[in-house]
Structure 1
Amino acid sequence: MELKTLRTFVAVAELRNFSAAARQLHTVQPAVSRQIADLEEELGTPLMWRSTREVKVTAAGEVLLEDARRMLALEVEARERVTRAARGQSGQLRIGYMSSATARFMPVLLRHFSNRHPDVHIELFEMTAQQQLEAFARQEIDLGFSRPLPEPVPLGLASLLLYQDRLIAVLPQEHVLAKRKRLSLEELAQEDFVLFERGQASGLFDRIISACGEAGFSPRVIRQPAQMQTLLSQVASGIGVAIAPACIRFLQSDGCVFIKPRPTQPPIALELHYLQHPLRPTVEAFIKEVSQMLGQIKVQMEPE
């Protein structure tokens, strides 16, 4: 049974008239009669009783009418679902993100996107840059918010710059230098350091070590937590001082103070990464949403 034939059958059954059904279907009455006759032959039973004055649906026809309506409704639903998927209005998105770098703007971004695309199912995975690279390679995520990737960019990933961060010194609130507005890095030469684990962000770790080297010392690293929130907790408890991206000031940071170092350090980018080919409709829709929020993200996240 073809959907076209079922559509013809439903039209005749509902209108109880072959000519009226032909007009509704924009065809001719003989074609309608032929389709109904072929359908009855295929099923091996009469579906309609005809006379010169009226058309009645048989018991077998009533059963088919119920099923045919359901099948045609499913066809309409399938077409709508395919169209919505092609426009990025339905489907799924798997997003890797660094919480410390996205905590302030991510909730608003996701809310705006979900309001416009309520049928897109979003899954979030907190990951470091290295973990995101591995997840992209295993095709476990569609987008990733992280620091710049190694050059050349692996896996054919494309990038969108979101904002430029800066390194900042993080000290316990009771530290002797805690009330300073600026400090030179060499003033921290004798301190114990808490630095984000190198294996999770080798580029960031190496940049901090290099900055300390330019200031004339090698930092005495006593802790390497794998989470920025843990780093803040350890600094707040007095274990040591830290140098980290300024974005972590938006995490839970009671007991910590943030001081700009001298000289000002080079910027640290946060980027949105995604597989450029093929670009899935849901990914394209999300990138469009991010692009519309770029100005707001920069204002919120870039240190003064």
Structure 2
Amino acid sequence: MELRTLKTFVSVATHRSFSAAARELHTVQPAISRQIADLEAELNVSLLWRNTREVRVTAPGEALLEEAQARKRVAMAASGQTGTLRIGYMSSACASFVPGLMRDFAATHPEVSLTLNEMSAQQQLDAFGRDEIDIGLSRPLPVEHRNALATLPVYEDRLMVVVPEGHRLAHRKRLALSELEQEDFVLFQRKHATGLFDQIISACGDAGFSPRIQRQPALMQTLLSEVAAGVGIAIAPGCIRRLQCDGCRFIPLRPALGAVPLELHYPTTPGRPVIDAFVALVEERLPAIRQQMA
């Protein structure tokens, strides 16, 4: 039984019409009739009952239709065309491009159920451990977890100083870290971004001081609100400029501190075609994403 013939039968049985199947398959009705006749002869059963007004599927035809649809579902699953995809992401770092990725993936994989969950890096790591997400977009993970998860670098960000608009340093075009020694700080909670927090503390230590931390919010949007309110200044990835940041000024550090990467993480377990398909889409879009986030 050829796959093309089986596809023809499924079309006729689904539409209950030879002419509709011909239109769907971009062929002519006599060719459809000939393929169905050949299939019935090969199987020695009547698959379809038809007259000039209607087409009905016989009991053997229903059995073949069920088997054909099961084969189709298996083939779709094997090619990543069906299934589920659960994505954890850091909104502050990738809200600018994740909606477009989701939209494009859904357009080419309409049978895949997509879920999107905003999570910190630590929350994503915990979710991977509980098999609650398939894809994670976050800052680099601790070294001890990197063997269990494959990593795709997405883009690199830079740390910037964030000050209230009326701050004495707000007019500056660049700042040295040592100039911030006397300032109060608002820093993102360490438990949600261990690497980022430690990077900032280490850099301040190299500059000769320990920051006076006044607040440690769990959300970057809260960090911006507290800076705008005058609670303190912040050092944060430049990507958060894309959040609501009225009342804040972003000033580059000179010399620049180390890069702040955003990475895509996914399990190394083989046989996950839906994950592979999404990773392939991200790889294809990397140049555009990096240009957008530059």
Bigger Cα displacement from structure 2, 144-153 vs 291-300:
144-153
Offset at 1:71?
3.3
Paired residue for 2:226? 234
Paired residue for 1:207? 199
Query: With structure 2 as the length reference, what TM-score do the two structures score?
Result: 0.80
Paired residue for 1:100? 92
AA aligned to 2:109 is H
Paired residue for 1:299? 291
Q: Is it true that 1:220 corresponds to 2:212 in the alignment?
A: yes
CA distance in 1, matches of 2:193, 2:284: 29
| Aligned residues with identical type, % of pairs | 55
Paired residue for 2:277? 285
Paired residue for 2:77? 85
Offset at 1:74?
2.3
For residues 136-194 of structure 1, the C-alpha deviation after alignment (integer angstroms, 9 at most, x for no partner) is 11111101001111114346111000011111101111111112110111221111110
Q: Is it true that 1:144 corresponds to 2:136 in the alignment?
A: yes
Q: How does 1:1-304 map to 2 (within 5 A)?
A: 24-25=39-40, 27=42, 32=44, 66-154=58-146, 156-302=148-294
CA distance in 2, matches of 1:211, 1:280: 40
The alignment partner of 1:115 has SS state of helix
The answer for unaligned runs of 5 or more in structure 2 is 1-8, 10-35, 50-55
CA distance in 1, matches of 2:254, 2:206: 11
> Considering only CA atoms, is the larger Rg found in Structure 1 or Structure 2?
1
For residues 24-66 of structure 1, the C-alpha deviation after alignment (integer angstroms, 9 at most, x for no partner) is 4454xxx94xx89xxxxxxxxxxxxxxxxxxx9xxxxxxx965
| 1:172/1:238 contact within 8 Å kept | yes
| 1:144/1:274 contact within 8 Å kept | yes
Paired residue for 2:20? none
Q: Is the alpha carbon distance of 1:252 and 1:276 closer, same or farther for their aligned partners in structure 2, counting shifts above 3 Å?
A: same
AA aligned to 2:236 is A
CA distance in 1, matches of 2:188, 2:126: 19
